[in-house]
Amino acid sequence: MQRQLYLVILLLLSFAFAQAQNVTFKASAPSAVAKGDQFRLVYVLENAEGKNLDAPSTINGFEILYGPAITSSSSTFIANGKADMRKTESYIFTLSATTEGTFTIPSATIQADGKTYTSNTVQIKVLPPDKTRQNNQPGRGQQSSVPRSGSANITSSDAFIRVIPSKTKIREQEAFVVTFRFYTTLDVIDIGKIEFPEFDGFMVEDQDLPPARQLQMEHYNGRNYNVINLRRTLLFPQRSGKITIPSGKIEMLFRVMTGATYPTIFGPQPVASEVRKMMTTSPLTIDVGELPAGKPDNFSNGVGTFSLRESITETDIKANDPITLTLTISGTGNMKLLKNPELVLPKDFESYDPKITNNLNFTDNGLTGSRTIEYLFIPRYQGTYKIPPVEFSYFDTRSNSYKTLSTREYTINVARDPNAGANAATSFTQTEVEVEQDIRHIKTGEPSFVSTTDFLVGSTAYYLWYIIPILLFITAFILYRKQIKKNADVIGMKTKRANKIAIKRLKQAKKHLDAQEKEKFYEEVLRATWGYLSDKLVIPVADLNRENIESEMTAYGADSKLINEFIYILDTCEFARYAPAESDTAMDELYATTVDAIGEMENGKKKPKTKN
C-alpha cells in the first residue's frame, strides 16, 4: 500500500514538473521535394495541451491534401530519484508540391495554458520532377507473378561523386573551397575505403562537418538525387600556374533492385541485390595567377580583406617594467599564412618572441576571424624612446591592389628603476654600457703561443692514433686465444677448481660445526672429500669407492700416509652418519684433518701415470 501511494505521489510530482517545463511549438518539413511529390508538414507542441490551432489554410506552391491529423504521446523517465514527464502533440498535414521554386510556409499559432505560441516558418525548395520518373509512370508495365531472372547493375548516373570548386580561376594565396559531394538514387548499405586526392601545391584547411548530417535532395542533369557532402576543404594555392587535383576514390555497397520478383501472400515482391561499386572523381584543374607587380617590401603574404587594430599597455613606465603591444588583424583570407608585422624597437629594449592567438572560422572565401599578436618587450635603461609605426601590407581581393595598414607612433618615457642600487646598470644608457664593455683589462703573465707551422698530420700524435689501437687489438687477440685454449683443457680446468670447491664446502661444514649440527657437518665433510677426489683424480663420483681410491691416489703420486688420511676421513664420516654422535673434540679433529689432507695434496707434486 505504501509503495502504491509513493508511486501516485511521484506521478503527481512528475506531472507538475512537466507543466513547469518550457513549452515549445515547432514546425518541420523536408528542405527539398520534387514537383508532384507528397510530403508531411508537422507542427509539434511539447509539454502542454494545445487547442485552437490556427494553421495556414492555403500555402503558395503547395496543395493541402489532408490535415490536420492529431497524435499525442507522453513518457515518464525516473532517474536518480527525479521524475521527468514529457507530453507531445503532433498536428500533421499532407501536402503536394505543385510549383517549382523556393517557398516559405508561414508560421502557425496555438493556444496552450492560457498563452498563444507561434511556430517557426519552414522554407522548402521544390525541384523539377525526375526525368526517369516521367518516362516510367506506375501502371504502364506489367510485373510477372512468377520469379524471373534479373541483373543488378549500377550505371554512372545512379551513383557518383562530384568535385565542386567554388572557383576555378584565382590568384596565388587566394582561398577557394572544394566540395566532394556524393549523389545517389540507390540505398547505401555500407561505405568502404575512401581515398581523397592529394592537394600538392595547396595549403589545406578542412571544414568540420557534422557527424550526424542527413541526406538532402538536389536536382542535377534532369534527375533528383539524394546528396551529402563527404568533405569540404579550403585550399590556398602556394604557387602560380595550372595545378591539377588528381582523382579520388570511394567504395560503397548499394542495395539494387534486380528487376525480378517473387510471389507472396501480399502480391509480387521485388528482389534486391547487394552490389559493391568503386567510384572515381574526375581530375580538377585550377588556374592560379601570379600576384601583380609592385609588391611592397614588407608584404605579409596576406591575400584577402583585412583590418588592423593596436593597443599598448603603458607608455610611462620605469626601467625593467614590461610593456605589451597588441596587434589584432581581422578579416577574411589566408589568415594562418600571414607573416607577423615587424616591430622595430630601440637598442635599449629587450624583446621576446611574440605570442600568437588565432580565432578563426571556416567560410567559402577563406578563414575569417582575428589573429592577435602580442609583442612583449622590456626597457632596460631610463630615457625617452620612439617606437615607429608597425606596417601590415597585403593584397586586397576586392580592389585587386596592394594595401598597407599601419599603427601610430608611440613615445615611451622610461624612468629610473627605483632598485638601481641592486642593479646600477639601469642608471646608465645602453651606449655608456657598451663603451665600458668594449675596454678590456690587459692580461698579465707568460703568454702561450702556438706555431702556425705545426700540423697534426705527420706528427707523433698522428701516428700514435693508428699504432695504439693496433697494439691493443693484438694484445686482446692473444689473451682471447689463451683463454680459449684454457677452456679447451677440460681436465686441467676441473683439477684447478677442485681445491676451490672443496674449500667452499668446508666453510659450510664449519658453520654446521659451530652450530652443533653434527649430522649436517659429517654430510658436508663427506661431500667435500668425495667431490675433491673426483675433481683431482678426474674420476666421476659414481665411479669412486673405497677400494679404488688407494690405487688412483698412488697413481696420482700421493704417499701412503696421505692416502690413509683420506680413507680415515671417509670411514669416519660414513660411520658417524649411522652411529651415535661423536664428541665435539672428535668433530674438530676431523675438520682439521680434512683441511690438512686437502692442503697437503694440493702442495704435493703430481706424478705421471704409467701405462700398464
In this structure, are 306 and 403 located in the same domain?
yes
Whether residue 427 is predicted with pLDDT greater than 50 in this model: the reply is no
In this structure, are 313 and 403 located in the same domain?
yes
Beta-carbon contacts of residue 596 (< 8 Å; ≥ 6 apart): 565
Boundary-marking domain end, from 262, 288, 314: 288
Separation between Cα atoms, residue 133 and residue 232, nearest integer Å: 31
Separation between Cα atoms, residue 118 and residue 24, nearest integer Å: 9
Whether residue 326 is predicted with pLDDT greater than 90 in this model: the reply is yes
Give the domain CATH number at 31. 2.60.40.10
Beta-carbon contacts of residue 70 (< 8 Å; ≥ 6 apart): 89, 90, 91, 92
Report if residue 345 sits inside a domain: yes
Percent of the chain with pLDDT over 90: 44
In this structure, are 262 and 342 located in the same domain?
no
Count of domains forming the chain: 4
Q: What predicted TM-score, i.e. pTM, was given to this entire model? A: 0.58
In this structure, are 397 and 371 located in the same domain?
yes
Whether residue 162 is predicted with pLDDT greater than 90 in this model: the reply is yes
Read off the pLDDT of residues 359-392 as tens digits, 9 standing for 90 and up. 999 988 889 999 999 999 999 999 999 999 999 9
Report if residue 144 sits inside a domain: no
Region 484-511: what's the mean pLDDT? Answer: 72
Report if residue 39 sits inside a domain: yes
Backbone angles phi, psi at 265, to 5 degrees: -70, -15
3-class secondary structure, 389: coil
Report if residue 459 sits inside a domain: no
For the beta carbon of residue 163, count every other beta carbon within 10 angstroms.
18
In this structure, are 21 and 103 located in the same domain?
yes
Domain that holds residue 171: 159-288
User: Which of 34, 41, 37, 36 shows the shortest CA–CA distance to 125?
Assistant: 34
Give the domain CATH number at 594. 1.20.120
Residue 339's pLDDT band (cuts 50, 70, 90):
very high
Which of 5-19, 519-533, 554-568 is the least confident region? 5-19
pLDDT at 352: 93
Separation between Cα atoms, residue 612 and residue 164, nearest integer Å: 106
pLDDT at 118: 93
In this structure, are 417 and 383 located in the same domain?
yes
Largest CA distance in the chain: 136
pLDDT at 562: 84
In this structure, are 505 and 417 located in the same domain?
no
pLDDT at 522: 83
pLDDT at 233: 95
pLDDT at 17: 45
Report if residue 266 sits inside a domain: yes
Query: What does the CA dihedral 399, 402, 407, 408 come to, rounded to 10 degrees?
Result: -100
Q: Please report, as a single letter, which amino acid is at residue 31.
A: S
Report if residue 96 sits inside a domain: yes
Report if residue 450 sits inside a domain: no
Asked if 529 and 569 count as a contact pair (C-beta separation under 8 A), the reply is: yes
Whether residue 357 is predicted with pLDDT greater than 70 in this model: the reply is yes
Highest average pLDDT, of 64-73, 75-84, 417-426, 495-504, comes from 64-73
Read off the pLDDT of residues 313-325 as tens digits, 9 standing for 90 and up. 999 999 999 999 9
Residue 530's pLDDT band (cuts 50, 70, 90):
confident
Whether residue 144 is predicted with pLDDT greater than 60 in this model: the reply is no
C-alpha pair distances (Å), 512 with each of 147, 244, 298, 531: 99, 91, 93, 18
Whether residue 491 is predicted with pLDDT greater than 90 in this model: the reply is no
Backbone angles phi, psi at 574, to 5 degrees: -65, -40
Separation between Cα atoms, residue 319 and residue 381, nearest integer Å: 5
Residue 558's pLDDT band (cuts 50, 70, 90):
confident
Region 180-185: what's the mean pLDDT? Answer: 94
In this structure, are 348 and 403 located in the same domain?
yes
In this structure, are 82 and 193 located in the same domain?
no
In this structure, are 120 and 21 located in the same domain?
yes
pLDDT at 579: 64
Report if residue 252 sits inside a domain: yes
In this structure, are 167 and 283 located in the same domain?
yes
Cell of 269: 515482391
Residue 504's pLDDT band (cuts 50, 70, 90):
confident
